Structure 1
Amino acid sequence: LDQYASASRSTAQKWELKDSTETPSRILLNREQEILMADAVSELPEDYQEVIMLRNLQRLSFKQVAERMNRSPGAVQMLWLRALN
């Protein structure tokens, strides 16, 4: 009986949603927004694309992005702000 209860709890934990507000329609909406964002970013100049990818998707700090792009953190921050506009 204890083994059954333990196995049942284990199975239930596997099926728990990460976020109780994550409904199928919300998942679809998020996916649609990701596609629109990717389309918009793909139309930007290459350095804008790179700074957005590093900063927003990889969540790197301005210092880390600056090191990868061989620029100063201030220059990267300005580039990022311009890319967002």
Structure 2
Amino acid sequence: MKQDQDQDQDKKTGLATKIATGAIVAGVTALPMAANAAASLDFTGASAELDGAKTAIVGIIGVLIVIGGIVLGWNTFRRSAH
């Protein structure tokens, strides 16, 4: 019984290793193609959009930090009032 479980575990480990190896090979193969494509494309419009998105995300994070500070201050105020 234990031997069957060990064999099943070995099969699962072997399959996971084969899948991981295949994924690595596919990624390494696709990498040069993506690098060559990036050299020929113009991303000036996309970079302006990304800068705008970055500004929006920083603003949202700032608002969340301020709201978190207000909630923390309110909880501290309520605890100290008792």
Shorter-chain TM band: 0.3 to 0.5
Q: Give TM-score, length-normalised by structure 1.
A: 0.35
Higher relative contact order, structure no. (Cα contacts within 8 Å, ≥ 6 residues apart): 1
**Structure exhibiting the larger radius of gyration computed from Cα positions:** 2
Identify, as 1 or 2, the structure richer in helix. Answer: 2
